[in-house]
Amino acid sequence: MNTKSCAFLLQLSRMGFSLCASKAPRCSTGALSLTTVTSTSLPHMSPHSPVLCSHSYSSSIKVRPYIQYIKHKILSPPSPPYSHVCQVGDPVLRSQAAAVDPAAITGAEIQQVINTMVKVMRKLECVGLSAPQIGVPLRILALEYPEQMLKDSSPALRDSLGISVQPLRIFVNPKLRVLDGRTVVFQEACESISGFSATVSRYLSVEVSGLNAKGEAVTWQASGWPARILQHEMDHLDGVLYIDRMDSKTFIDVNWPSHNE
């Protein structure tokens, strides 16, 4: 889950889906220009008639695959753990993540996965991330709710949603237990389904137990927004995405206003 998306979603809920998005940049002229005009396609114009734009958008389309081809010839393709987040459609996001051997947690391989997760999570300003999202089908999740995110929300919103600053927490082989069976419906977004959002029902309070990055047994009880993050990331470990639990009528492109400008 992304902090910027979360801030937007918090505003979205308060405003009753009345979005106030920043103005998106206009399309470049190349995307809308006529690249060729002939006397056969437009009989009233001569072959020497001026065209709207001399730039061909199709040329850039042809160049990109060639650049990608050269790039892959020179550089070997990346391998997991990725420094990016896998997008919906990648089979790893729909697989059942495997348990980690406790004895291997402090080893170099698992530590690399954990360090990469934290690095990617902070780079993208996420509040939670799972190992499958960086291409590793293992039962590892991380969450962190930074202070800056808290500052971006109003006190009233913090109280109503149970938002609080959370230090970095790593859970290996986590198990979730519901503490409060009541549910709360709120907007969610996901870095693996970039640019979209929908309302999802989650339990109000949960408990997670597992091993930390040092292989030590840990247990944590969470409620409100942190509990939502936990449930969202736990779903990833079972190949479940929020779109599987969402109210489909609330599914939106968060940037939809810019498409109408």
- Calculate the alpha carbon distances from 222 to 9, 82, 90, 135, 163 in Å: 20, 29, 30, 27, 11
The region, left, alpha or beta by phi > 0 then psi within -120 to 50, assigned to residue 164 is beta
Out of 125, 144, 191, 233, which one is annotated catalytic?
Answer: 233
Which of 200, 191, 209 is CA-nearest to residue 247? 200
List the structure tokens of 81: 């753990």
User: Residue 124, exposed/middle/buried by CB under 10 A (0-12, 13-18, 19+)?
Assistant: middle
* Contact by Cβ (8 Å): 122, 83: no
Instruction: Give the separation between CA 234 and CA 205, rounded to whole angstroms.
Output: 14
233 catalytic? Reply is yes
Residues forming the active site? 233
